[in-house]
Amino acid sequence: MTSPIIDATIHLEETLPAREIEAVERALHARTGVISARVTLRNAQLILVEYSPCCCSVSDLLWLLDGLGHPASVRYGGDPPAGTRLRECRGIRCRA
């Protein structure tokens, strides 16, 4: 099965301390549909995320971060408008 993937840059309201960075990345990676997630080392307020919009939305990711105590907003990217051509990735497991 081929699923679309998109990129989003999420901006945290506060800079993450070093001990929190790994926990946030692990939580995002555990979310169904997230392909990659990493906090930028230059700016610990930005998280670069690749995900499949058929499995989760950027709102889901923001909700997850808020639940971890790290309120955030989308800085770049996010869910694409209808009709947008997306890159594709094979092997994404989505919930039925």
Q: How many CA atoms lie within 13 A of 4 on its CB side?
A: 13
Output the pLDDT for position 2: 59
What percent of the chain is predicted at pLDDT more than 70?
Answer: 75
Average pLDDT over residues 26-41: 90
How high is the pLDDT of residue 77? 60
Weakest mean pLDDT among 3-12, 30-39, 47-56 = 3-12
Contact by Cβ (8 Å): 79, 60 = no
Q: Is the pLDDT of residue 88 over 70?
A: no
In sequence order, which residues have a C-beta less than 8 Å from that of residue 43 and are 6 or more positions away? 15
**pLDDT value at position 4?**
76
- Global pTM? 0.76
